[in-house]
A and B are shown apart, each in its own frame.
Chain A
Amino acid sequence: MARALSLAFQTGDGPVNALSDVNLQINKGEFVSFIGPSGCGKTTLLRVIADLEQPTAGSIEINGMTPSEARVKRAYGYVFQAPALYPWRTIEKNVALPLEIIGFSDAEKRKRIKETLELVNLDGFEKKYPWQLSGGMQQRASIARALAFDADLLLMDEPFGALDEIVRDHLNSELIKLWKRTQKTIAFVTHSIPEAVYLSTKIVVMSPRPGRVTDIIESTLPHERPLEIRETPEFLAIAHRVRDGLRAGHSYEV
């Protein structure tokens, strides 16, 4: 949960308000999407939650902890825009990276690697190197890496932004299943309206200059979501409201 959160970057031309007066509550088990055009501060907000950026004003709490405490306790897994796999490590060794750093036993490591790779449908690819995998598979491996140490919160920063639409659709439906199976809280940054509507229980619409929240939409879609749900009137109605929210923030002015 965030209260009156602001963040300003000092630049040569004076401060740039990346985030201004953001108030937001995320409940346990929710799938929250942050959507908005580039420069609206959605990635910055995620990085503040992850203690990768420091807010200049306001407060933010993760299960009663500050972001810094949450990071030290490894309370979240972070999936970046790029897979950021280590090319010199096999897929299983990449997934093992956080486990090595946290200090799990070898037996526990093997168990968790097996479980998480099954979860993202990468079993059988343990011994492959990243370059032997497609872009979509690499990003799945990076999701497995974020899941391996079983944090309750998963932060995802446009994880499928660099993938083509067919692969993206497939990974979206897999992500929904994964979210339902693991009961994790997911904060997901995207700039795709269908992706946000399809995945989320809550959609946070943001707009730039200064980065702020213009609308928060609770999704009425059922938790069971086949890809065809995107053709239903209910889905289109929510998508329409997101589009309105983006327009209200003058996001379409360039």
Chain B
Amino acid sequence: MGKGSAVPIIVVLLALLVIWYLGAILLNAPVQLDTYARDHIAFTPWQLVLDTWNESRPQLPSPHQVLIDFWKSTFEVAPSSKRSLLYHAWVTLSATLLGFATGTVLGIVLAVLIVHNDASNRSLMPWIIASQTIPIVALAPVFVVVTYNVLTGDNLIGNSFHLTGDSARLVSKALVSTYLSFFPVVVGMVKGFRSPEALQLDLLRTYNASRPQTFWKLRWPIALPYLFASMKVAVAASLVGAIVGELPTGAVAGLGARLLGGSYYGQTVQIWSALLAAAILAGLLVIAVGVMEKLVVRRMGARP
């Protein structure tokens, strides 16, 4: 982080906290006032404010409630426990990473086809774009339910893989991640593979280089910066895909299940701490891609 950037960040963070606490008072006060009236409790304004910040099932939990719940469910329970956020985060993360990996590979393969073959350019591109216009919330249940049933059911695929319920659930969620993450990779890599200048292509032509040689010596290395930019978008989309994949089927594990469970039982604090966990996870994933990018760029001799 550059010099002097800490102050503005802290100012914005404080402003958000103030707005959040004020919002908690506004949203939670009606319920609190009802409670006072029902139990005939006398209260001071300050008492009201404090109580709105510490309800057990608030409309809007206050930041410290979320942080305390996050802390407890992350560090004070065993990671293997179903009450541990680490456990749920891992369930979601494994589907995210699987989907992200297959999505990236699929995106690169499609981009290679599109760049090298005009027929696939014209036949694939419209479908790829159309695929992203359908809301994932509508598609995810179909994906997850069909994939899960095919993988575990009594059919050719199910019988040949013998997947357990957990693995089948993982694969079906990863499929949603793949569906969301291949798109930015295709778009970025098509642009990347097409980025060599005419001069650079002419040079290889004077060497009578083959198409695979042109790909590996020029198109692939020149496209790598585009790949990392795409992967940063794709990894965040993968996480969204995995969480969305957990919502429709009543999954019992994963951050999505945590969100769902929280809303079933009115555990708003639990919802918010799961959201916090998802945000932190997304941040870490994007940072991880950024670190990979730095390492590769340094190996490719970029200006420091």
Taking Cβ atoms with an 8 Å cutoff, the residues of A that contact B are 50-52, 71-72, 74, 76-78, 80-82, 84, 86-90, 97-98, 100-102, 129, 131
Contact = CB atoms under 8 A, between A and B. Distances in A.
Interface in B196-225: 197, 199-200, 202-209, 213, 217-218, 221-222
Do most interface residues of chain A lie in helix, strand or loop, or is the interface mixed? loop
Contacts, number: 51
A101 B203 contact: no
B303 interface: yes
A101 B200 CA distance: 14
Interface string B258-289: 00000000000000000000000000000000
Given A86-B221, A100-B217, A101-B217, A80 B203 contact: yes
B41 interface: no
A208 to B, nearest CB: 22
A51 B209 CA distance: 14
Contacts of B205: 51-52, 71
A97 B302 CA distance: 19
A102 B202 CA distance: 16
Given A84-B199, A84-B200, A101 B209 contact: yes
Contact of A101 (B199, B204, B301): B204
Nearest to B225: A88
B300 interface: yes
Interface residues of B, number: 20
A249 B62 CA distance: 84
17 contacts: A71-B205, A74-B207, A74-B208, A76-B206, A80-B202, A84-B199, A84-B200, A86-B200, A86-B218, A86-B221, A87-B300, A87-B301, A89-B301, A90-B301, A100-B217, A102-B207, A129-B301
Nearest to A47: B202
Contacts of B302: 87-88
B203 A78 contact: yes
B218 A71 contact: no
A77 B300 CA distance: 26
B301 A88 contact: yes
B217 A71 contact: no
A211 B269 CA distance: 79
A67 B302 CA distance: 37
B286 to A, nearest CB: 24
Contacts of B197: 84
- Pick from B203, B222, B303 the residue with the most CB of A within 10 Å: B203
A90 B209 CA distance: 20
B207 A98 contact: yes
B202 A52 contact: yes
B218 A80 contact: no
